[in-house]
Protein backbone atom coordinates (compact mmCIF):
# COMPACT_ATOMS: atom_id res chain seq x y z
CA UNK A 1 0.00 0.00 0.00
CA UNK A 2 1.41 3.42 -0.89
CA UNK A 3 2.58 5.59 1.99
CA UNK A 4 1.02 8.98 2.72
CA UNK A 5 3.93 11.44 2.91
CA UNK A 6 3.98 15.14 3.69
CA UNK A 7 5.01 17.11 0.61
CA UNK A 8 8.77 17.77 0.40
CA UNK A 9 11.11 19.52 -2.01
CA UNK A 10 12.51 16.22 -3.32
CA UNK A 11 9.00 15.09 -4.35
CA UNK A 12 8.96 17.64 -7.21
CA UNK A 13 10.10 15.40 -10.11
CA UNK A 14 7.74 12.53 -9.25
CA UNK A 15 4.86 14.95 -8.58
CA UNK A 16 5.35 16.68 -11.92
CA UNK A 17 5.34 13.31 -13.67
CA UNK A 18 2.12 12.36 -11.85
CA UNK A 19 0.41 15.60 -12.88
CA UNK A 20 1.57 15.36 -16.51
CA UNK A 21 0.64 11.69 -16.94
CA UNK A 22 -2.83 12.23 -15.47
CA UNK A 23 -3.63 15.69 -16.86
CA UNK A 24 -6.32 14.57 -19.32
CA UNK A 25 -7.78 12.08 -16.82
CA UNK A 26 -8.13 14.76 -14.14
CA UNK A 27 -9.49 17.34 -16.59
CA UNK A 28 -12.45 15.05 -17.26
CA UNK A 29 -13.74 15.67 -13.71
CA UNK A 30 -12.05 18.83 -12.40
CA UNK A 31 -10.86 22.03 -14.10
CA UNK A 32 -7.50 21.65 -15.87
CA UNK A 33 -4.55 23.25 -14.09
CA UNK A 34 -3.51 25.03 -17.29
CA UNK A 35 -0.21 25.25 -19.12
CA UNK A 36 1.17 27.86 -16.69
CA UNK A 37 1.02 25.32 -13.86
CA UNK A 38 3.33 22.98 -15.77
CA UNK A 39 5.53 25.73 -17.20
CA UNK A 40 6.33 27.15 -13.77
CA UNK A 41 6.09 23.94 -11.76
CA UNK A 42 9.31 24.33 -9.74
CA UNK A 43 8.43 27.85 -8.59
CA UNK A 44 4.90 26.74 -7.70
CA UNK A 45 6.23 23.73 -5.79
CA UNK A 46 8.54 25.97 -3.75
CA UNK A 47 5.67 28.35 -3.07
CA UNK A 48 3.46 25.51 -1.85
CA UNK A 49 6.21 24.34 0.50
CA UNK A 50 6.54 27.85 1.93
CA UNK A 51 2.76 28.04 2.48
CA UNK A 52 2.87 24.61 4.14
CA UNK A 53 5.71 25.72 6.43
CA UNK A 54 3.59 28.73 7.42
CA UNK A 55 0.74 26.39 8.41
CA UNK A 56 -1.64 27.63 5.69
CA UNK A 57 -1.96 24.22 4.02
CA UNK A 58 -0.93 20.59 4.59
CA UNK A 59 -0.02 18.79 1.36
CA UNK A 60 0.41 15.01 1.13
CA UNK A 61 1.32 12.50 -1.54
CA UNK A 62 0.51 8.82 -1.80
CA UNK A 63 3.89 7.39 -2.78
CA UNK A 64 4.43 3.85 -4.05
CA UNK A 65 7.34 1.60 -3.14
CA UNK A 66 9.42 2.86 -6.08
CA UNK A 67 8.90 6.53 -5.24
CA UNK A 68 6.14 6.98 -7.82
CA UNK A 69 3.36 9.41 -6.87
CA UNK A 70 -0.02 7.69 -7.09
CA UNK A 71 -2.14 10.39 -5.52
CA UNK A 72 -2.47 13.63 -3.62
CA UNK A 73 -4.45 14.34 -0.47
CA UNK A 74 -4.37 17.96 0.63
CA UNK A 75 -5.77 20.01 3.47
CA UNK A 76 -5.91 23.60 2.28
CA UNK A 77 -6.98 26.99 3.59
CA UNK A 78 -6.37 26.11 7.23
CA UNK A 79 -8.14 28.51 9.56
CA UNK A 80 -9.72 28.30 13.02
CA UNK A 81 -9.44 24.50 13.25
CA UNK A 82 -10.91 23.95 9.79
CA UNK A 83 -9.53 23.11 6.34
CA UNK A 84 -10.75 22.00 2.93
CA UNK A 85 -9.92 18.48 1.79
CA UNK A 86 -8.94 17.81 -1.80
CA UNK A 87 -7.59 14.66 -3.41
CA UNK A 88 -6.79 13.07 -6.74
CA UNK A 89 -5.64 9.57 -7.60
CA UNK A 90 -3.69 8.49 -10.70
CA UNK A 91 -5.82 6.86 -13.37
CA UNK A 92 -3.85 3.61 -13.18
CA UNK A 93 -4.39 3.45 -9.39
CA UNK A 94 -8.10 4.36 -9.36
CA UNK A 95 -10.57 1.89 -7.90
CA UNK A 96 -8.04 0.26 -5.57
CA UNK A 97 -9.08 1.98 -2.33
CA UNK A 98 -6.20 4.49 -2.36
CA UNK A 99 -8.45 7.54 -2.10
CA UNK A 100 -10.34 6.08 0.84
CA UNK A 101 -7.12 5.07 2.59
CA UNK A 102 -5.44 8.41 1.90
CA UNK A 103 -8.44 10.44 3.06
CA UNK A 104 -8.71 8.40 6.26
CA UNK A 105 -5.03 8.98 6.97
CA UNK A 106 -5.33 12.70 6.23
CA UNK A 107 -8.33 12.97 8.57
CA UNK A 108 -6.31 11.32 11.33
CA UNK A 109 -3.39 13.69 10.72
CA UNK A 110 -5.79 16.63 10.69
CA UNK A 111 -6.60 15.89 14.32
CA UNK A 112 -3.36 14.45 15.70
CA UNK A 113 -0.77 16.59 13.88
CA UNK A 114 -2.52 19.75 12.73
CA UNK A 115 -5.10 20.38 15.47
CA UNK A 116 -8.02 20.51 13.05
CA UNK A 117 -11.55 19.56 14.06
CA UNK A 118 -13.55 20.18 10.88
CA UNK A 119 -12.85 19.40 7.23
CA UNK A 120 -14.92 20.43 4.24
CA UNK A 121 -14.97 18.90 0.77
CA UNK A 122 -16.92 19.38 -2.45
CA UNK A 123 -17.56 17.20 -5.45
CA UNK A 124 -19.81 17.14 -8.46
CA UNK A 125 -22.91 14.95 -8.53
CA UNK A 126 -21.55 13.02 -11.51
CA UNK A 127 -18.42 11.99 -9.58
CA UNK A 128 -19.87 8.91 -7.87
CA UNK A 129 -16.41 7.64 -6.87
CA UNK A 130 -15.54 10.81 -4.99
CA UNK A 131 -18.93 10.93 -3.31
CA UNK A 132 -18.45 7.32 -2.15
CA UNK A 133 -14.98 8.07 -0.75
CA UNK A 134 -16.31 11.01 1.24
CA UNK A 135 -19.22 9.03 2.71
CA UNK A 136 -16.97 6.03 3.54
CA UNK A 137 -14.59 8.32 5.43
CA UNK A 138 -17.23 10.01 7.56
CA UNK A 139 -18.08 13.11 5.54
CA UNK A 140 -21.73 14.17 5.59
CA UNK A 141 -23.39 16.10 2.74
CA UNK A 142 -24.54 19.53 3.89
CA UNK A 143 -26.02 21.07 0.77
CA UNK A 144 -26.12 21.42 -2.96
CA UNK A 145 -23.67 23.69 -4.76
CA UNK A 146 -22.52 24.62 -8.23
CA UNK A 147 -18.92 23.61 -8.86
CA UNK A 148 -17.54 25.23 -12.00
CA UNK A 149 -21.08 25.40 -13.32
CA UNK A 150 -21.84 21.75 -12.54
CA UNK A 151 -24.23 20.56 -9.82
CA UNK A 152 -22.44 19.25 -6.77
CA UNK A 153 -22.52 18.66 -3.06
CA UNK A 154 -20.77 20.25 -0.12
CA UNK A 155 -19.58 17.88 2.63
CA UNK A 156 -18.35 18.30 6.20
CA UNK A 157 -16.31 16.01 8.49
CA UNK A 158 -15.92 16.60 12.21
CA UNK A 159 -13.39 14.88 14.43
CA UNK A 160 -14.95 12.20 16.59
CA UNK A 161 -17.14 10.79 13.82
CA UNK A 162 -16.23 7.35 12.59
CA UNK A 163 -15.30 6.81 8.98
Whole-model pTM?
A: 0.92
Nearest-angstrom CA–CA distance, 80 and 118:
9
The residues pairing with 58 across neighbouring beta strands, listed in sequence order, are 75
Please, which residues have CB within 8 angstroms of residue 63's CB and are 6 or more apart in sequence? 2, 3, 4, 5, 11, 14, 69, 70
CB-count exposure of residue 160 (10 Å: 0-12, 13-18, 19+)? exposed
Number of H helices, E strands in the chain: 6, 7
Q: State pLDDT tens for residues 22-69.
A: 999 988 877 778 888 889 999 999 999 999 999 999 999 999 999 999
Task: Identify each DSSP E strand in 7-132 by its residue range.
Answer: 58-63, 69-79, 82-89, 118-124
Q: Helix, strand, or coil here: 139?
A: coil
Domain architecture of the chain: domains with CATH: 3-158 (3.40.630.30)
The residues pairing with 140 across neighbouring beta strands, listed in sequence order, are 156
Q: State pLDDT tens for residues 57-106.
A: 999 999 999 999 999 999 999 999 999 999 999 999 999 999 999 999 99
Amino acid sequence: MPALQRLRLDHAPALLTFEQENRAYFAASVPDRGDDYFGHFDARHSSLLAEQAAGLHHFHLLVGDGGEVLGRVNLIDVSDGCAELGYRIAEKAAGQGLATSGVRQACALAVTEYGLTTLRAVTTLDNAGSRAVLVRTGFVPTGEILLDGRPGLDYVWKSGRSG
